[in-house]
Amino acid sequence: MGEPAILKNKDRLALAKDLVACLEDGRESDASRVLGQLGGGHEGQLYREVGCLTRELHETINCFVHESNLADIAHSEIPDAAERLAHVIRMTEDASNTTLSAVEDAMPLAQVLSNDSRRLVDALERLQRPDNDDLDCLAVGKDLESFLRDTQANADALNTRLSQVLMAQEHQDLTGQIIQKVIELVRDVEAKLIELVRLSGARKLQPGNSHKGDRKSDTGVHGPIVPGVDKVDGVTDQDEVDDLLSSLGF
Amino acid sequence: MKILVVDDFSTMRRIIKNLLRELGFTNTHEADDGTTALPMLQNGRFDFVITDWNMPGMQGIDLLKAIRADDQLKHLPVLMVTAESKRDQIVNAAQAGVNGYVVKPFTAITLEEKISKIFERLAA
């Protein structure tokens, strides 16, 4: 159908008079036809404008989705990010376990050093009493030699464990980098969501309108408080816990 | 002294076991959730429970309430060691009958003090 011409006022007046004539004569189908002609121009214009807007919005959204890689973000980057964070948990857990193993080995060694030292000090003190004899000296001498050899071995073993603890800390650098990447993705998604909200013409959501609060209160737990981020009525250290409990009589 | 350590993070259970060993408590057992801990307590003749709060199956607060509701277990001393630090949570735990509350991160000294205090109060 070709573009109907926009009706001028004198044409409309002519059509209106024609309409009245049809109606007065009872010519219903003619009246309907004239009515169609009268309104047709405007209806067409309305349809054209709505069609135009719809196309524009459609193109803008398509353009946005394409340029902002939303499909990529949804199908691969976000699942990737989740896997990256799961990996970080595994790395930090491994590092903790390595450190704990080194500590579990090292503590008994330190204990042995301490115990043996104490025993030898006692033996040496006894030696200094007037009633000691040469056999005692010899025995303590042997004991001392044996202790010093053990100590050297134990010190070396402790050194090795401490090195293991040192190296286990390297995870922090690696996990830090991985987390940094995820932070970038989160900021990217944030920017795109804001843009999408703007594009769709929605009123900017006021913080607090959203249901974030409901989600958290589902289980009642909050997890560790992150300074600068979490704003909950919480205590900051053990002393505050103790004060709170004793003020209530517990 | 038979102690049960309940926490969903294995590294935390390991740290607490080590600290308990340093304090001379070697008869320690582990559970990774309130749901696994409760049957162990019901069958086990434990003397002390150290538990986290935030666990997926049954939270520490619910484990505590279940212990206090069980005739066999209601006098079991319970120490909470947790990152949960909201005031009303601390008060809830106290009202539910927890014997001590330690917030993470904590020190070995704090753990020792709280355990000693619990036993002093029980002896009195």
Q: What ipTM was predicted for this assembly?
A: 0.80
Determine the average pLDDT of the residues in A10-29: 89
d(CA A153, CA A22): 118
Window from A84-88, A141-145, A216-220, B100-104 with minimum mean pLDDT: A216-220
Contact A245 B102 (CB under 8 A): no
Which of the four pLDDT bands, split at 50, 70 and 90, describes residue B95?
very high
Closest CA to A83 of A182, A174, A176, A223: A182
Neighbouring-strand partners of residue B100: B79
Chain A residues with beta carbon closer than 8 angstroms to that of B15? 100
Diameter over CA atoms, chain A: 149
d(CA B99, CA B75): 10
Contact A235 B90 (CB under 8 A): yes
Closest CA to A4 of A32, A41, A34: A41
| Residue among A103, A232, A237 minimizing CB distance to B86 | A232
Given a cut of 60, whether residue B21 has pLDDT beyond it is: yes
Query: How far does A196 lie from chain B, in Å, by closest CA?
Result: 35
Which of the four pLDDT bands, split at 50, 70 and 90, describes residue B113?
very high
What is the residue type of A13? L
What is the residue type of B114? K
The contacts of residue A128 (CB under 8 Å, 6+ apart) are none
Which of the four pLDDT bands, split at 50, 70 and 90, describes residue A173?
confident
User: Which is more confident, B84 or A6?
Assistant: B84
Q: pLDDT at position A4, please? A: 52
Chain centroid to CA A116: 51
| Residue among B87, B94, B106 minimizing CB distance to A235 | B87
Chain centroid to CA A50: 41
Cis ω before B105 (30° cut-off from 0): yes
Query: How far does A221 lie from chain B, in Å, by closest CA?
Result: 6
Instruction: Compute the mean pLDDT over every residue in chain A, rounded to the nearest whole number.
Output: 83
Given a cut of 50, whether residue A214 has pLDDT beyond it is: no
SS3 for A131-150 is CCCHHHHHHHHHHHHHHHHH
Window from A50-54, A68-72, A142-146 with minimum mean pLDDT: A68-72
Given a cut of 90, whether residue A170 has pLDDT beyond it is: no
Closest CA to B54 of A218, A85, A246: A218
Determine the average pLDDT of the residues in A108-119: 92
Name the residue of chain B whose CA is nearest to A89's CA.
B9
Decide if B34 contacts B52 (C-beta within 8 A). Answer: no
Given a cut of 50, whether residue A213 has pLDDT beyond it is: no
Written as six digits, the tokens of A59 are: 């193109």
Contact B87 A100 (CB under 8 A): no
Beta carbons within 10 angstroms of residue A14's beta carbon: 13
d(CA A19, CA A27): 9
Given a cut of 80, whether residue B124 has pLDDT beyond it is: no
Given a cut of 80, whether residue B16 has pLDDT beyond it is: yes
Chain B residues with beta carbon closer than 8 angstroms to that of A221? 53-54, 59, 84, 89
Q: pLDDT at position A41, please? A: 63
Query: How far does A226 lie from chain B, in Å, by closest CA?
Result: 11
Written as six digits, the tokens of A33 are: 């036809």
DSSP A77: I
pLDDT digits (tens, 9 = 90+) for B27-41: 999 999 999 999 999
Determine the average pLDDT of the residues in A180-195: 90
User: Which is more confident, A34 or A226?
Assistant: A34
Q: pLDDT at position B5, please? A: 97
| Residue among B10, B59, B87 minimizing CB distance to A221 | B59
Residue A83 CA neighbour count, 13 Å, CB half: 6
Contact A223 B54 (CB under 8 A): yes
Chain B residues with beta carbon closer than 8 angstroms to that of A235? 85, 87, 90, 103
Contact A248 B94 (CB under 8 A): yes
